[in-house]
Structure 1
């Protein structure tokens, strides 16, 4: 299994920090960036080969790559998303499809969280279990912006969307998921159908397409977890507090 970080986004709401670097390289604890935390978490659960999908300002990550490898004890392979600024992250994940065949622990490059999230997903793997596991916060109060998760009577994914009324959601997907090797080809097909339908769709819409095709996706409740998705300056201020405790 590999680590996989989606770090192609521009993070326009974080300017001027992102004028010349991608969102994943915004510092959240001294010189520690969001990408540092992603790599640290993946290394903490024994994943030493990490694929990073880059796009906007990718040269900044390319330059730092040797330093990041040495700092976190990982080998980093870069995959370029040539449409990072005109297509959403369903396309970003699809660009890494050839790297899913050994399984992947996927982390959004804008999420600050502790390694217990990765540990929890790995602990829920089962040979006869679902092919995709999603880390889900069931304690946070939900509003319009969150990626909300609905489950069926057996605990499998029924719906994942920002458009769901909060009262109908079981929790929020926090941007970390485990993709088993058996999911590689069918998930790639679902992602392709998703971004071809609408370039603005998220990879979570690809998970919905995957589930709608009869494949099993299980959201995994995390329990109380301190984390933040960094979209704007308010999030960044909170991330700096969270990072000190990760």
Structure 2
């Protein structure tokens, strides 16, 4: 099991930071000096649960990640592999995750490069392994949902039935927070579903690839994360929340 971070996105709503940085390297330290980024927090979580290797999918402003690679490896004791997404500024993240299809074969904890979350999320996913579960999504069942969230409907042992932003929040079981445990035996099925997804529409999310799997009869499980502080950083309001949360870790 290794770590995997999707860090190819531009995050244009976070300008001026993202004029020169990918979203994963936007500073979340209180002073905004860049001593701590979302990528730092995620790699720190990976290290804390015992992972010693991680891959990072890079694209937009990837040179900034390449420049920090050695320092990140030294800081967190994790050997990093950078995977280039050649369409990061054209296509959505279904393609981005597909770019890491070879990495998926090793089994991964996948984390979006814009999700600030505590290490308890990774521990919850690792604790949910076994009993034939091949893909386990971290699910917030506490937060009050609105239109923008990636919402999930589950059905007991059948697992995920729907995953999309485009549903009535009142019908959702919870919100997918952007962290998933993917076992090696799920790699081929997921890669094929992702390929089908971005070939249908390159603007689709990798969560649409998850839905493709569900439609094919594949069981996706969930692990509720409890009442823990986390945020997906899309804009400057989210960034302010991310800095408040980062102080807690």
| Range class of TM-score, shorter chain | over 0.9
Residues 1:185 and 2:188 are matched in the alignment: yes
Residues 1:218 and 2:230 are matched in the alignment: no
- Where 2:6 maps in the other structure, the secondary structure is strand
- Where 1:32 maps in the other structure, the secondary structure is coil
Query: Equivalent residue for 1:232?
Result: 235
- Could you give the per-residue CA deviations for residues 33-62 of structure 1, whole angstroms, max 9, x where no partner exists? 110001001111111110000000000000
The counterpart of 1:123, out of the listed 112, 120, 127, is: 127
Residues 1:204 and 2:210 are matched in the alignment: no
- Where 2:10 maps in the other structure, the secondary structure is coil
TM-score (norm 1): 0.98
- Could you give the per-residue CA deviations for residues 160-195 of structure 1, whole angstroms, max 9, x where no partner exists? 000010011000000000001110001100000000
Alpha carbons 2:58, 2:82 under 8 Å: kept = yes
1:95-114 matches, cutoff 5 A:
95-114=99-118
Query: Equivalent residue for 1:51?
Result: 55
TM-score (norm 2): 0.97
> 2: CA distance between counterparts of 1:117 and 1:162?
21
Pairwise CA distance, 1:153: 3.8
> 1: CA distance between counterparts of 2:19 and 2:105?
35
Runs of 4 or more consecutive aligned structure 1 residues displaced over 4 Å after TM superposition? none
Alpha carbons 2:110, 2:182 under 8 Å: kept = yes
- Where 2:148 maps in the other structure, the secondary structure is coil
Q: Considering only aligned residues, what root-mean-square deviation do their CA atoms show, in Å? A: 0.8
Query: Equivalent residue for 1:3?
Result: 3
Query: Equivalent residue for 1:71?
Result: 75
Alpha carbons 1:195, 1:201 under 8 Å: kept = yes
Query: Any unmatched runs of 5+ in structure 2?
Result: none
The counterpart of 2:167, out of the listed 154, 164, 167, is: 164
Alpha carbons 1:155, 1:219 under 8 Å: kept = no
1:148-159 matches, cutoff 5 A:
148-154=151-157, 156-159=159-162
- Where 1:27 maps in the other structure, the secondary structure is coil
Deviates more, 1:27-36 or 1:105-114: 27-36
Query: Any unmatched runs of 5+ in structure 1?
Result: none
> 2: CA distance between counterparts of 1:66 and 1:92?
23
Q: Number of paired residues?
A: 245
Pairwise CA distance, 1:129: 2.2
- Where 2:162 maps in the other structure, the secondary structure is strand
Query: Equivalent residue for 2:21?
Result: 21
